[in-house]
Amino acid sequence: MKTGQPFSRREFLKTTGGALSLFTVATHLSLALANATEGGPQRVKRNSAPIRRLLDEMEAKGYQFLSVPRKDGELLYFIAKATRSRNVLEVGTSHGFSAIWLGLALEETDGRLTTIEIDKERYDLARRNVKEAGLSRRITCIRGDAHVEVTKLEGPFDFIFLDADKEGQMDYFSKLFPKKLVPGGILAVHNAIRQAHSMKDYLDMIQKHPDFDTVILSATMDDGFCLSYRHRVS
Ligand SMILES: C[S@@+](CC[C@H](N)C(=O)[O-])C[C@H]1O[C@@H](n2cnc3c(N)ncnc32)[C@H](O)[C@@H]1O
């Protein structure tokens, strides 16, 4: 087309069509960016009906799968969210009950969870449950012996939850601290009341450790967590 001449209908449509599609792409892009910043449009919500149903079903099988009580799941969710944790490690997935609670918090902080399970059937089941929860993009399940697997993980993590073999806490600690837990990070150990005898060495050590503040916290009045906060400056 020569300058100064009016647009033909076809040229007009071509030009405005191009501009419109550019506009559409730009709009989609900015929506995608906005969604990414806000955690995305498909954010899995803690109180949605499918999540409530899944958590109810999993809670009903909790005894069989040794999962944390619901109140402890809620506490894990609360801590991960309140600390704005974005890189979380769980040792001992079982069927994925606590992993899903953590995953729900990570939907809000835009974080990731790595969780390790030694038992093949539980690992398979956890992956199915995580998928059903819609949290596969947040949660990576690893199958293997966590005493070995943690050494392969890069980290560092800002929240570590130990809930596997209770006698193994000292070994996990020596493999994760100091490199794989950030200063300001949280280390949570489950069954610190009912199974305190199985991790006495760990509990004695961590409560005296100069780099940590430690509390024993119970949400159930029955059992609870040993929660340790790593000082930002040692
Ligand atoms: C108490 S259950 C975990 C419950 C889970 N955190 C929840 O609340 O849903 C402990 C799990 O740790 C697994 N486990 C035990 N020793 C392990 C190890 N060395 N490496 C990885 N997983 C292990 C067990 O197979 C079991 O499924």
pLDDT greater at residue 20 or residue 106:
106
Same domain? 224 vs 185: yes
> Is there a single domain that holds both residue 80 and residue 141?
yes
Instruction: Kindly give the distance from the C-alpha atom of residue 40 to the centroid of ligand 1, in angstroms, as a whole number.
Output: 31
**pLDDT at site 174:** 98
Residue nearest to atom 8 of ligand 1 (CA): 67
Q: What is the pLDDT of residue 5?
A: 45
- In whole angstroms, give the CA distance from residue 100 to residue 131: 10
Tens of pLDDT along 33-87?
Answer: 434 444 444 799 999 999 999 999 999 998 899 999 999 999 999 999 999 999 9
pLDDT digits (tens, 9 = 90+) for 174-185: 999 999 999 999
Ligand 1 probe mutation, 163, 189, 195, most atoms within 8 A of CB? 163
- Whether 34 and 106 map to the same domain: the answer is no
The distance from CA 152 to its chain's CA centroid, rounded to whole angstroms, is: 18
The domain tally of the chain equals 2
63 in the same domain as 28: no
Whether 24 and 94 share a structural domain: no
| Beta-strand pair 225-230/212-217 | antiparallel
**The domain spanning residue 142 has which CATH number?**
3.40.50.150
Together in a domain, 85 and 166: yes
What residues pair up with 162 in beta bridges, in sequence order? 91, 189
Domain that holds residue 11: 1-41
pTM of the model: 0.84
Identify whether residues 192 and 209 lie together within a single domain. yes
User: What is the position in ligand 1's atom list of the atom closest to the CA of 90?
Assistant: 6
For residue 21, report the distance from its CA to the centre of ligand 1, in Å.
52
